[in-house]
Amino acid sequence: MTQPPETPARPARDTRRELTAAVLLSAVAGALALSSGGQPWADVTVTRQPPLPPYADVLTGGELAPLVPATGLLLLAGAVALFAVRGWGRVAVGLLTAVAGGVLVVSGVRALTGSVDVGTGDLGGSVIGLGGATVDVATSAAWPVLAALGGVLGCVAGVLVVLRGRSWPGLGRRYERTPGAAEPARRQPSRPESAEDRHQAAWKALDNGTDPTDDPRDDATREPGR
């Protein structure tokens, strides 16, 4: 009965490409989350009781959805951690990356669909006459869409890490010797000096102007001046 052929291991170049792709996806997702979180997501208009005039304010993504900048930092940290951890630790990083991406997607979709509630307490204590006031929110679509896009990239990066991350190289493993690689040549043991070796040494001594019949030990014990 013949044995089924073994599945060949993936080349190291492919694993490095997958690792690079996951790191870039996570880093881009984190950058999108942080950049969009600092931008205006909603224009808020507060209609107060007369004679107080209406009050207008702008809420950023971090104010309207506080988890957006937090997940951005988490995704950037995960991109760096992918180089430092291996095995199951890398799988855990992939799970966190996927969860952070999902949070970004939910935050962006909630803002786009108007599911985010803004109350008078979100406007701070510096505004007077908020008792009995009504709040109207006009959400901007561009920045929530950017956050949701970052969330999708984060989810893709996390899934890629979970499925493939255990086989990727770690930090400082680029030049690790792979199984079956040729071992460096071992130093040959020294052999006893032969007559041919002594003959070659004598000729080299003559070329250097040295008498090969002289014994160096005689020169060391010879008295000065003799």
- The amino acid that residue 111 corresponds to is A
Domains assigned to the chain? 12-167 (1.20.140)
pLDDT digits (tens, 9 = 90+) for 22-65: 999 999 999 999 999 999 888 877 777 777 777 777 888 888 88
Backbone angles phi and psi of 57, in degrees to 5: -150, 165
> What is the pLDDT, as a whole number, of residue 221?
52
Residue 40 parent element (H or E)? strand 40-47
pTM here is 0.64
Residues linked to residue 136 through DSSP beta bridges, in sequence order: 45
Q: Which residue matches tokens 């044995």?
A: 3
Q: Take residue 92 and report the two structure tokens written for it.
A: 């855990």
